[in-house]
Chains A and B, each alone.
Chain A
Amino acid sequence: SYVLTQPPSVSVAPGQTARVTCGRHIGGYSVHWYQQRPGQAPILVVYDDDARPSGIPDRFSGSYSGNTATLTIIRVEAGDEADYYCQVWDSSSYQVVFGGGTKLTVL
Chain B
Amino acid sequence: EVHLVESGGGLVQPGGSLRLSCAASGFVFSNFPMSWVRQAPGKGLEWVSLVSASGGSTYYADSVKGRFTISRDNSKNTLSLQMNSLRAEDTATYYCAKEYYENSGYSHFDHWGQGALVTVSS
Q: Which A residues lie at the B interface, using CB under 8 A?
A: 1, 30, 32, 34, 36, 41-44, 47-48, 53, 83, 85, 87, 89, 91, 94-101
Q: Which label, helix, strand, loop or mixed, suits the secondary structure of the A interface?
A: strand
Interface bin, chain B: 20 to 34
Distance in angstroms between the alpha carbons of A32 and B23 in the assembled complex? 25
**Closest A residue, CB atoms, query B43:** A101
By a CB distance below 8 angstroms, the chain A residues around B107 are 30, 32, 47-48, 89
Cβ proximity bits B76-120 to A, threshold 8 Å, 1 near / 0 not: 000000000000000000010000100001111110111100000
By a CB distance below 8 angstroms, the chain B residues around A95 are 47, 59, 61
Q: Is the CB of A41 within 8 A of B114?
A: yes
By a CB distance below 8 angstroms, the chain A residues around B45 are 34, 36, 42, 85, 87, 98, 101
Q: Is the CB of B47 within 8 A of A41?
A: no
Q: Is the CB of B95 within 8 A of A41?
A: yes
By a CB distance below 8 angstroms, the chain A residues around B100 are 44, 47
A58 to chain B, nearest CB (A): 18
Q: Is the CB of B108 within 8 A of A100?
A: no
- Taking CB atoms and an 8 Å cut-off, the chain B residues in 43-68 that contact chain A are 44-47, 50, 59, 61-62
Q: Contacting B50 at CB < 8 Å: which of A42, A48, A96?
A: A96
Q: Is the CB of A41 within 8 A of B44?
A: no
6 tightest CB-CB pairs across the interface, nearest first? Answer: A96-B47, A32-B108, A101-B44, A41-B112, A98-B45, A94-B59
